[in-house]
Structure 1
Amino acid sequence: MSSTLSNFFTGHMSKFLSIFFIVAILINPWLSRTAKASSSSAELDSARVDRYIHKMMKRLRIPGLSLGIVKGGRILYLQGYGTADDHDRRMTPKTPVMLGQSGKSLTAIAVMQLAEQGKLDLKAPVQRYLPWFRTEGEQASGQVTVMHLLHQTSGISTADGLSSLIYDHKRLFDHLKSMNPYALRTPPGSLYQDSKLNYDLLGGIVQEVSGESYADYVRNHIFLPLNMKNSFASLNEAKRAGLAGGYQPILGDMTPTPWRNHPGGAPSGSIASSAEDLSQYLIAQFNARALKTPTLISNQGLSLLHKQAAPMGYGKFYAMGWVLQNDAMYIQGNTENSYSYLKVRGDYGYVVLANSMDPLNISGYDQIANQLDAMVQDGRSPSYHGLPSYSLSYGLIAAAFLLVIIMMARTVYNLFKWAHSSPLPASRLAWHGTFAVLLNLLLPIAVLVLCPKWLGPWPAALAYMPGIAHALLILSILLLCLGAAKAVVLALSSRKVGRRVFRQPSKASSTSA
């Protein structure tokens, strides 16, 4: 608690507020789990929090957001902001939102539960539980362990994880088997690489060892024990429970887009939950030691789950589903059109869920939980320094695309002009030929080849960055087509120049004769 808030609760005012909130609790015991918990919100300036969230939502064009703050084994604050979908349904702390990579921590908990029951060994090779698992190097097939998957050091690359996005519409085992043999880009245990396939494989192990489907397992052994009533590992179930609609910026316009079903990717993040449920989840994980009341796994299991393991660079370490940095733990996730961020520092935990995703301004989304933490625990004023500008980001991209379109239009104009005019001089032919190679050959080929490596295969890029990815793909193809047309016109013009040069000496010789 900040010194400002501490001074506020002194003297007679503190006594008055204590009596007031005791009465409020006796009258309305359920308020501790509503949008604004009266007894708990007294420990923070909820109006200040609300002002900050509203300002960030406006800056980042976020349609709907839900927030949860926990402290010392209890929910301190819950609130929903904005709209849940394009029907103006109100966003609440109970509204389910798709989590993305934040769901990996649930899979890690499931694996740890089975390990504590003696049903699996974390150091055992994956093949013990999934006999069909193969790598491209047969010898390495037996070297990848369950622990490697948990720590994301199996050798399966981030790029291969992105590529699997176009296959995880299948059922879990069908999806995992379709990826056989798995390519190991580095030796198992040697390097951290964030790959969704690691946690999809862990989900397959949970399903195989428990005898339950992955969705049934997390419902029966995680959601139900924690009373997480608005959490689902099935898209259809989440929709029936009022899943928030997703939004994506299409060339700067925040637009509602449909959900895509990824049943094979549930263990790596295709899970829906609410701010209220995830607040309970944080309490179960991070306050069990202090309260001596472990709910999901033992305290020893929690210690192992949160132990730093794989260096990520920049002072970060990966544990099991969580990132450790300085004195905090967090995990950030997103789908095509939603965002989640869970953070724990000290006795406080934060849940931020948004029903939109903006890959160009995701650093701004990440600032929300971090700034809230600084406000609540350190008493700092929120800082907007370095916050990405939504308008500037998409304005620059629109300007770049407009410049390319103008250059393409000029090329079309020149093609018609050259086709009906006298041959171009050799120097201009050389200049236009060089420019065509750079703009109409090298640039589009670079885009078509490199974008899948950075953004995932084109189907995934088109899903995660609609508008921008579509423009890149269409403009690249058009540039190649114009380049081909330009090459034909320049070749014909070159032949005309050659004929003219060839005929000039014969004219001169006939005159002298």
Structure 2
Amino acid sequence: MSQLTQRRLLLQSILALPLAGCGGGGGGGEGALASERVLPQVSTQPAGSSQGAIPAVDDMVQQQLLAQRIPGASLVVARSGRIVYAKGYGYADLEAATPIQVEQRFEIGSVTKSFAASAIMLLVEDGLLTLDDRLEPYLGATPAAWNGITIRHLLNHSSGLPEYPDDAFFAALERDQGFSTAELLARFKTHGLAFPPGSSFLYSNTGYDLIGLIIQKVSGQHYGEFLRRRVFQPLGMDSARLMAPNESAAGNAIGYEIVAEQRRPHAYNSAERNYLALAASGLQINALDMAKWDAALYTERILKRATLDLMWTPNSLMQAANATTPDIWYGLGWQLRTQQGHRWVYHSGGMPGHVVDFIRYPDDQLTVIVMTNLDERHANARVIARTVAQIIQPGL
């Protein structure tokens, strides 16, 4: 089986990642850095904060990185939209022994979906489309089976579209065969549906990739440029960008994968970067800028309160399709959960070299952002994020 096909199967296997957290960590060591028992830490004190050390948090993160063999992590904790703790742990570059800093970008994977959904909702607020619009006006002629699909179905994963394209598509990417937007759309249109639109739930990256194409059609701008102008620039999220084939690696935490028990940098070819830069998973952002996004969600700086409330309303179809996780829901671009009486509005994301967890407890006005630079097969960012939250606020 080819490496990319293996990766595709692994990506498919993390359907549970956005729903229940990432997979478990491995053990073992390699080289001098991996045998260290104390990893470097770099604190950041944002303007207006009064950050002091929280030993219980620092010790726990250290232990998790060592146990899971994660090279490094970036952590930000915010209260009521203000950063109260920000620290980097471990390494952004193992070979150069460069410590992680919270200013460094990580690939945020499916956390991107909350931004894609927000872009659509901005267009709804602008009066340029509605959630119940069919796809043809924006994507051209579609297969007969797609006739009932609406934008809402794409956003809440009830379209019936598959999680990912077919094996032939991934084989082409492995050969570094790129696809134009028109070619991608034509290939997506060959997909059948797992069920009639609006009748069940199936997590679909394909559906969110189509969301990006709709944004481009309606706005007249590339999806990434629309986000830059309407979200990132107004909020001062200067680190935020889409993956690109020839981007500079400056400012990025290197993403690692474990192969034959050794950690090595994960490398994409240009075609893979182009595909992954679609609306399902393509953003790179640092943790400080994610905190700016969190702060905006307490206000109407980007989206109206009624719009946010709609996005955070559960899709009841998910429960019938996921009987093993009855307390986990999906809204419009956001995962939703209530545990021990505390509401979560969150999303997680896994990539071949990074795993991120972004958990908001809106009623408690607490947010925890954890970014790690190890692949989704081995890194468990959720256990770190949840434990941090419980240290900061016992009982969560």
The normalised TM-score by structure 1 is 0.61
Of 355, 369, 384 in structure 1, the residue corresponding to residue 385 of structure 2 is 369
Of 248, 253, 260 in structure 1, the residue corresponding to residue 257 of structure 2 is 248
Of 291, 300, 307 in structure 2, the residue corresponding to residue 301 of structure 1 is 307
Of 40, 65, 81 in structure 2, the residue corresponding to residue 57 of structure 1 is 65
Tell me the C-alpha RMSD between the 2 structures.
2.3
Contact in 1 for aligned 2:165/2:188 (Cα 8 Å)? no
The CA distance in 1 between the partners of 2:167 and 2:103, in whole Å, is 30
Identify if the C-alpha distance between structure 1 residues 369 and 244 changes in structure 2 by more than 3 Å, giving closer, same or farther. Answer: same
The CA distance in 2 between the partners of 1:75 and 1:47, in whole Å, is 18
| One-letter identity of the residue aligned with 1:262 | R
**1:263 alignment partner in structure 2:** 274
Deviation for aligned residue 1:62: 0.6
Contact in 2 for aligned 1:339/1:355 (Cα 8 Å)? yes
Q: Deviations over 1:335-361 (max 9, x none)?
A: 1111111101120111111111141x4
The CA distance in 2 between the partners of 1:130 and 1:317, in whole Å, is 28
**1:352 alignment partner in structure 2:** 370
Deviation for aligned residue 1:180: 1.9
Identify if the C-alpha distance between structure 1 residues 374 and 340 changes in structure 2 by more than 3 Å, giving closer, same or farther. Answer: same
Of 337, 354, 359 in structure 2, the residue corresponding to residue 325 of structure 1 is 337
**1:183 alignment partner in structure 2:** 192
Identify if the C-alpha distance between structure 1 residues 162 and 204 changes in structure 2 by more than 3 Å, giving closer, same or farther. Answer: farther
1:142 aligns with 2:147: yes
Of 140, 159, 184 in structure 2, the residue corresponding to residue 154 of structure 1 is 159
| One-letter identity of the residue aligned with 2:105 | P
The CA distance in 1 between the partners of 2:368 and 2:234, in whole Å, is 21
The CA distance in 2 between the partners of 1:153 and 1:252, in whole Å, is 39
Q: Deviations over 1:41-82 (max 9, x none)?
A: 55x752321111111100111111111111112111111111
**2:318 alignment partner in structure 1:** 311
SS of the equivalent of 2:139 reads coil
* Larger Rg belongs to: 1
Contact in 2 for aligned 1:200/1:264 (Cα 8 Å)? no
SS of the equivalent of 1:328 reads strand
Contact in 2 for aligned 1:332/1:342 (Cα 8 Å)? yes
Of 224, 227, 231 in structure 2, the residue corresponding to residue 215 of structure 1 is 224
Of 55, 62, 66 in structure 1, the residue corresponding to residue 74 of structure 2 is 66
Deviation for aligned residue 1:171: 4.2
Structure 1 stretches (4+) deviating beyond 6 angstroms? none
**2:210 alignment partner in structure 1:** 201
| One-letter identity of the residue aligned with 1:249 | I
1:119 aligns with 2:153: no
The normalised TM-score by structure 2 is 0.79
| One-letter identity of the residue aligned with 1:184 | L
Contact in 2 for aligned 1:161/1:195 (Cα 8 Å)? no
**Structure with a larger share of its residues in helix:** 1
The CA distance in 2 between the partners of 1:351 and 1:259, in whole Å, is 25
Structure 1: gaps spanning 5 or more residues: 1-33, 289-293, 381-513
Q: Deviations over 1:483-512 (max 9, x none)?
A: xxxxxxxxxxxxxxxxxxxxxxxxxxxxxx
- Aligned-residue sequence identity (percent) comes to 25
Contact in 1 for aligned 2:287/2:370 (Cα 8 Å)? yes
**1:75 alignment partner in structure 2:** 83
Identify if the C-alpha distance between structure 1 residues 304 and 164 changes in structure 2 by more than 3 Å, giving closer, same or farther. Answer: farther
Deviation for aligned residue 1:40: 3.6
SS of the equivalent of 1:329 reads strand
Structure 2: gaps spanning 5 or more residues: 1-42
Q: Deviations over 1:191-239 (max 9, x none)?
A: 1111110100000000000000112111111111111111101335753
**2:289 alignment partner in structure 1:** 277
1:36 aligns with 2:45: yes
Deviation for aligned residue 1:253: 1.6
**2:5 alignment partner in structure 1:** none
**2:6 alignment partner in structure 1:** none
Q: Higher relative CO (CA 8 A, sep ≥ 6), structure 1 or 2?
A: 2
Identify if the C-alpha distance between structure 1 residues 69 and 127 changes in structure 2 by more than 3 Å, giving closer, same or farther. Answer: same
**1:402 alignment partner in structure 2:** none
**Structure with a larger share of its residues in strand:** 2
Question: What count of residue pairs does the alignment treat as equivalent?
Answer: 334
